[in-house]
Amino acid sequence: MDAIVGQPLDRVDGRLKVTGGARYAAEFPVPGVVHAVLVQSSVAAGEIVAIDTSAAEGMPGVLAVITPENAEKLQADKGGEQVVSRPTLQDMQVLYNGQHVAIVVADTLDRAQAAASALKLTYKQDEAVTTMDSALNTAYRPKHFRGGARSPDSNRGDADAAFDAAAVKVDATYRTPIEHHNPMEPHATIARWDGDRVTVWTATQGISGAQHTLATLFGIPPANVRVICPYVGGGFGCKGSTWPPATLTAMAARKVGRPVKLSLTRRQMFTSNGYRPRTVQKVKLAADAGGKLVAIRHDGMSQMSMPSLGEFAEPVGLATEMLYSCPNVAVTHRLVGVNAPLPTYMRAPGEASGVFALESAMDELAVALRIDPVELRLRNYADGDEHEDKPFSLKNLRECYRQGAEAFGWSQRNPAPRSMRDGRVLIGWGMATSTYPANRRPAEALVRLQADGSVVAGSGTQDLGTGTYTVMTQVIADELGVSPRRVRFVLGDSTLPPAPGSGGSTTVASVSPAVQAACAAARQKLFSLILADPQAAGLTSADLRLANGVVLAPARRFPLSQVLARAGLEYIEGRGKTEGPPGGHSLHSFGAQFAEVRVDPDLGEIRVSRYVGAFDAGRILNAKTGRSQLIGGITYGIGMALLEETATDAETGRYVNADLAEYLVPVHPDVPLIRTIFVAGEDPVLDPLGARGIGELPMVGVAPAIANAVYHATGVRVRDLPIRIEDVLG
Amino acid sequence: MQSFGYLDPADADAAIAAAAAPGGKFIAGGTDLMQLMKDDVEAPTRIVDVEKLPYGAIEANGSGLRLGALARMSDVAAHPAVQRDYPVIAQALLASASPQLRNMATMGGNMLQRTRCHYFRDTGFPCNKRNPGSGCPAIHGENRLLAILGGSEHCIATHPSDLAVALVALDTSVELQGVGGARRTVALGDFHRLPGDTPQIETVLQPGELITALVVPPSAAARRSAYLKVRDRASFEFALVSAAVALEMQGNTIADARIAMGGVGTKPWRLPAVEAALRGQAATPENFTAAAGLAVEGAMPAGKNDFKVKLMQRTLVRALSTVAA
């Protein structure tokens, strides 16, 4: 039988999704549910000095008005997965504009909204720091960089001395803006208490994290918290931590003694669950006349909230440490605290922003050296990870450059800026390297082989829309010799065996080996039952093969139904486990991004007109969902390059474009036909199946490829994202 | 959103009487009003649905084009006579919003579309237009999208409509019906008001007064017209700068010019000085550039929208070159 893994199988949940049958957090029919509405601060810094709830409490249908004055006291969460460390509604201090200051519960949503707007809060306003750029001199060293696992700084050789002595140099500052994830599904939670047990239906990328955080905050054992989330309407990082809205819903449900539902508005999504912070990055590159890098220095600063809310440092320099071969490399990470909400992970955290700076600088170096940008990268190719001093588990980046360049037609490029035109329109070709760590974390899975040959399997993982249901179904189909139609894989329920949060492209490499091991365990149990049967005399497990509910052996066959009936079993269960990543190798995926832009020389309009991305991401478990990830990631990158920016009013610290009419993401005419290439290769070090996660890799390097193309088209080097009309108007 | 009453009277007099009373507000397609109500920017206590009124016709004949106030943007854009004799109108419509919105939004509603100024649309900010006298943080704030022409110290909010720019260029007039059956016609160019010190008053409409039709006179210029819209995103975005240009040509000489621009003014911005400068001139790049210089006279950029001064001139030159060619 041909392997099911790898095939472009349609999503197994596709029909449910397009017919509205897939149930998202806010859609669960929970009897007796009442509605909550959040109230948020309108000042960026200060203290609440008075809360007048009298009008709101007297309104029809109102069940509770919860403010810092009457909110349940919560335990601080010290959970490792969470960037959010400050429980909510615990004091009167206001640290950003849009902070949650009350939650109002009523029998209907309309009545809750009306009461929420009748709440009167009086503030004592303090002076606020609202923009990062006005506070760069206050930059500080992160206290818990990468969860405390390493220093925010690194050094190899002497980057400053080598830079000073070098022949050819680039020294530039790059800036990326605040961006918001904006998944289609806003955050939503329904919470229901039964005594001291709570069930929470919530839109999350991590049911285990939600379970442990809520247990800690409410002082109950994790076993008393059940988290259910079968579908996520996009997360991109903003549903990775358990943010205050989920906690407040549970608090409100406990207070009113009824199930409570809270669904955020789009505007509230901008201040309630993180964002990609603004960065200011200074990059210095130096090379010898032959284009060999002799020094790299990358000093990254990222914007933070006030420190008491938690800590999130955008790790912009990590890729810089390992992407190129260079004897002298220095990297630093610093934070700048402002009166803003807490930032968080957003698709390709660190790499998306950091590689924009590094790969723009590499393009500037190629121009200074008069070397082709692809050739410059080949001359500095890192065969091993010089930062970790380890071999790569798999690195086919050279093939990505070669296949990507060929598909794009890169050899036809005239290197001179403004040299390529279509009529009056300026054409620019740019490229950049992509990289993202290949991650794996401990996970467990359970598989039940049933008498009729069908399989039920599960793991407490998530499907963010990326295809977890589908690829796990494929893995099981191959392992147990069964059609994917006879496999039912369940996830998104904390009563299932635990799995890590879906972030950092970890799900496939963490969960698929656990599923595979669970299948192997079930199969082994089945074979043991058969081998104990006198009819199997003379056979060993090497003689047995399971296919379509029958175990086949030379000249003999054992239908599953009979084996199970004889053993008095309804099903055979196998459990499997994945450990954390192996230590001997550096684990990274790679890619090469090639973009063509068309720029109107008079009007400054920039449009991406062609795109090729070639990726080295191990074995692809599903060619269709895999390609969808690449297209989605590249589209996300086009938004980062040309459109996305959350603008802050400097006076009040309030976001001004907090809706989808004014926060621009690409629409269809902004996205050209995207050619995607998976470079062949398997990574058995990370995953016995040879696979890696690919959720984030495809967006890394898109913004610099486009920025480099804009430079090639116009001769204008834009170092601040997004690149807009006024930047190239001349 | 606040609670409100709903009426859908079958005759205009009843609708007008209901809307004239305090708290009354007309609704047709609802594509803008519903957003504004959800965001508490507008909180009418009674909405008066005019969709049952007989103002949806599109009539085109030798005496011009008459667009019923309730005609849908999509229907007008697809009308053969509009496409043939008034291409600037069809192009402005197709450059607006999205197909879904154009299927709902009406001619009359489009004239009354409210500004996209971020500060106006978020009740967390003061705004002189929403709450007179509360102040305008936009002028010194995030003003990239805001107007460079027609502003005052109280408001520089941009008028958002594409269609209104095309119609103002073509000397359109607005037919109105008021309380007690009073009817009057005003030039669209006089229909929108500059903000001055009363930015909350955006048009010359009296309480309860209803737009019933937009009337566009025929012209040779209208037949040779185009709409150019410049924006960051390729579709579904309001104009950073746009130009509606209609030219009557005699050989290479401009016999008549009608020009208005969008994205730059606090109302659809007609450019009579540019038109006068072009009349009788040859259609040359030099003449276009010189005329475009007049377009930005009096411009008062606010910082982040400084680029609009240059972009406005370039957009106009491009539109003139395209239409003249």
Rounded to whole angstroms, the Cα distance separating B240 from A664 reads 13
User: What ranges in A349-492 are assigned the alpha helix state H?
Assistant: 351-369, 373-379, 397-408, 468-480
Is the bond leading into A722 cis (omega within 30 degrees of zero)?
yes
* A462 and A555 part of one domain: yes
pLDDT digits (tens, 9 = 90+) for A603-623: 999 999 999 999 999 999 999
Mutate to test the interface with B, among A94, A600, A656, A665 (most CBs of B within 10 A): A656
Give the model's pLDDT for residue A297: 98
Q: Is B204 helix (H, G, I), strand (E, B) or coil?
A: coil
The answer to whether residue A78 scores a pLDDT higher than 80 is no
pLDDT digits (tens, 9 = 90+) for A581-598: 888 999 999 999 999 999
Q: Is A398 helix (H, G, I), strand (E, B) or coil?
A: helix
Give the model's pLDDT for residue A392: 97
Rounded to whole angstroms, the Cα distance separating A418 from A408 reads 19
Residue of chain A whose alpha carbon sits nearest to that of B119: A656
CB proximity A725 to B under 8 Å: yes
Nearest Cβ partner of B307 from A647, A657, A726? A726
CB proximity B325 to A under 8 Å: no
Phi first, then psi, for residue A458 (nearest 5°) are -160, 160
Rounded to whole angstroms, the Cα distance separating A636 from A615 reads 16
* A565 and A486 part of one domain: yes
Nearest Cβ partner of A654 from B39, B124, B310? B124
**Residue B22 belongs to some domain of the structure:** yes
Confidence of residue A76 (pLDDT cuts 50, 70, 90): confident
Higher-scoring residue by pLDDT: B162, A692: B162
Half-sphere CA count of A503, side-chain side, radius 13 A: 22
Instruction: Please compute the mean of the pLDDT values over residues A86-102 and round it to a whole number.
Output: 93
Give the distance from residue B238's alpha carbon to the nearest chain A alpha carbon, in angstroms: 9
**Residue A356 belongs to some domain of the structure:** yes
Which amino acid belongs to residue B222? A
Residue B17: which H helix or E strand, with range?
helix B12-20
| Residues on chain B touching A656 (C-beta within 8 angstroms) | 118-119, 122, 125, 141-142
- Tokens 């010799």 locate to A481
Which amino acid belongs to residue A730? G
CB proximity A607 to B under 8 Å: yes
Whichever domain contains B295, its CATH number is: 3.30.390.50
**Residue B75 belongs to some domain of the structure:** no
* A118 and A141 part of one domain: no
Mutate to test the interface with A, among B2, B32, B142, B242 (most CBs of A within 10 A): B142
- Residue A377's domain comprises 137-178+276-439+584-728
Those residues with Cβ within 8 angstroms of residue B107's Cβ, 6 or more apart along the chain or in another chain = B67, B68, B69, B70, B71, B73, B76, B163, B211, B214
Phi first, then psi, for residue A391 (nearest 5°) are -75, 155
C-beta atoms of A114 and B119 within 8 A: no
* A452 and A521 part of one domain: yes
C-alpha to C-alpha distances, B164 to A478, A726, B172, B188, nearest whole angstrom? 62, 25, 9, 8
**Residue B191 belongs to some domain of the structure:** no
The first and second tokens of residue A285, run together, are 């590159």
CB proximity B318 to A under 8 Å: yes
**Residue A557 belongs to some domain of the structure:** yes
Nearest Cβ partner of A670 from B125, B233, B317? B233
Residue of chain A whose alpha carbon sits nearest to that of B308: A726
The answer to whether residue A81 scores a pLDDT higher than 60 is no
Listed residue (A511, A466, A491, A498) closest to A236, CA to CA: A466
C-beta atoms of B310 and A113 within 8 A: no
Mutate to test the interface with A, among B140, B229, B232 (most CBs of A within 10 A): B232
Give the model's pLDDT for residue A159: 98
Residue A510's DSSP bridge partners are: none
| Residues of A designated catalytic | 696
Confidence of residue A391 (pLDDT cuts 50, 70, 90): very high
Which amino acid belongs to residue A221? P
| Residues on chain A touching B118 (C-beta within 8 angstroms) | 647, 656-657, 662
Listed residue (A691, A709, A679) closest to A597, CA to CA: A709
Nearest Cβ partner of A656 from B39, B118, B234? B118
- Residue B305's domain comprises 220-324
Which of the listed residues A563, A578, A593 is the one where a domain comes to its end?
A578
| Residues on chain A touching B232 (C-beta within 8 angstroms) | 605, 642-643, 664, 722, 724-725
CB proximity A647 to B under 8 Å: yes
Give the model's pLDDT for residue A684: 87
**Residue A462 belongs to some domain of the structure:** yes
Nearest Cβ partner of A656 from B3, B35, B142? B142
* A143 and A123 part of one domain: no
| Residues on chain B touching A657 (C-beta within 8 angstroms) | 118, 142
CB proximity A108 to B under 8 Å: no
C-beta atoms of B311 and A647 within 8 A: no
What sign results for the dihedral spanned by CA atoms A66, A69, A73, A77? positive
* A143 and A212 part of one domain: no
Instruction: Please compute the mean of the pLDDT values over residues B194-221 and round it to a whole number.
Output: 98
Number of structural domains (chain B) is 2
C-beta atoms of A604 and B124 within 8 A: no
Which of the listed residues B49, B64, B81 is the one where a domain comes to its end?
B49
C-beta atoms of A114 and B2 within 8 A: yes
The answer to whether residue B20 scores a pLDDT higher than 60 is yes
Give the model's pLDDT for residue A86: 79
C-beta atoms of A604 and B125 within 8 A: no
| Residues on chain B touching A668 (C-beta within 8 angstroms) | 235
CB proximity B184 to A under 8 Å: no
CB A317 within 8 A of CB A138: no
Listed residue (B193, B210, B211, B212) closest to B202, CA to CA: B193
pLDDT averaged over every residue in chain B: 97
Nearest Cβ partner of A662 from B116, B125, B137? B116
Give the model's pLDDT for residue A333: 98
Rounded to whole angstroms, the Cα distance separating A268 from A541 reads 58
Per-residue buried b or exposed e for A399-421, using 16+ beta carbons within 10 Å of the residue's own CB: bbbbbbbebbebeebeeebbebe
* A514 and A636 part of one domain: no
Give the distance from residue B55's alpha carbon to the nearest chain A alpha carbon, in angstroms: 30
**Residue A602 belongs to some domain of the structure:** yes
User: How many angstroms from the chain centroid is the CA of residue A700?
Assistant: 12
* A618 and A517 part of one domain: no
Give the model's pLDDT for residue A79: 54
- pTM, to two decimals: 0.98
pLDDT digits (tens, 9 = 90+) for A672-700: 999 999 999 888 898 889 999 899 999 99
Half-sphere CA count of A260, side-chain side, radius 13 A: 27
Whichever domain contains A497, its CATH number is: 3.30.365.10
C-beta atoms of B137 and A652 within 8 A: yes
**Residue B27 belongs to some domain of the structure:** yes
Listed residue (B307, B315, B310, B309) closest to B259, CA to CA: B315
**Residue A8 belongs to some domain of the structure:** no
CB proximity B141 to A under 8 Å: yes
Instruction: Please compute the mean of the pLDDT values over residues A354-369 and round it to a whole number.
Output: 98
The total of other beta-carbon atoms located within 10 Å of residue A634's CB is: 28
Which amino acid belongs to residue A552? L
**Residue B85 belongs to some domain of the structure:** no
Give the model's pLDDT for residue A77: 65
* A431 and A294 part of one domain: yes
**Residue A10 belongs to some domain of the structure:** no
Pairing type for strands A606-616 and A588-599 reads antiparallel
* A701 and A604 part of one domain: yes
CB proximity B99 to A under 8 Å: no
C-alpha to C-alpha distances, B61 to A229, A322, A659, A700, B85, nearest whole angstrom? 60, 72, 43, 57, 10
C-beta atoms of B234 and A113 within 8 A: no
pLDDT digits (tens, 9 = 90+) for B52-63: 999 999 999 999
Give the model's pLDDT for residue A1: 56
Give the model's pLDDT for residue A38: 97
The answer to whether residue A219 scores a pLDDT higher than 70 is yes
Nearest Cβ partner of B141 from A97, A110, A649? A649
C-beta atoms of A603 and B315 within 8 A: yes
Residue-by-residue DSSP string for A180-192: ----SSPPEEEEE
pLDDT digits (tens, 9 = 90+) for B273-319: 999 999 999 999 999 999 999 999 999 999 999 999 999 999 999 99
Rounded to whole angstroms, the Cα distance separating A638 from A644 reads 9
CB proximity B232 to A under 8 Å: yes
CB proximity B66 to A under 8 Å: no
pLDDT digits (tens, 9 = 90+) for A264-303: 999 999 999 999 999 999 999 999 999 999 999 999 999 9
What sign results for the dihedral spanned by CA atoms A508, A512, A513, A514? positive
Q: Is A30 helix (H, G, I), strand (E, B) or coil?
A: coil
* A465 and A434 part of one domain: no
C-beta atoms of A42 and B124 within 8 A: yes
Give the model's pLDDT for residue A85: 77
| Residues on chain B touching A97 (C-beta within 8 angstroms) | 124
| Residues on chain A touching B122 (C-beta within 8 angstroms) | 267, 654, 656, 658
* A610 and A572 part of one domain: no
Q: Is A82 helix (H, G, I), strand (E, B) or coil?
A: coil
Number of structural domains (chain A) is 3
**Residue B269 belongs to some domain of the structure:** yes
**Residue B105 belongs to some domain of the structure:** no
pLDDT digits (tens, 9 = 90+) for A494-532: 999 999 999 988 999 999 999 999 999 999 999 999 999
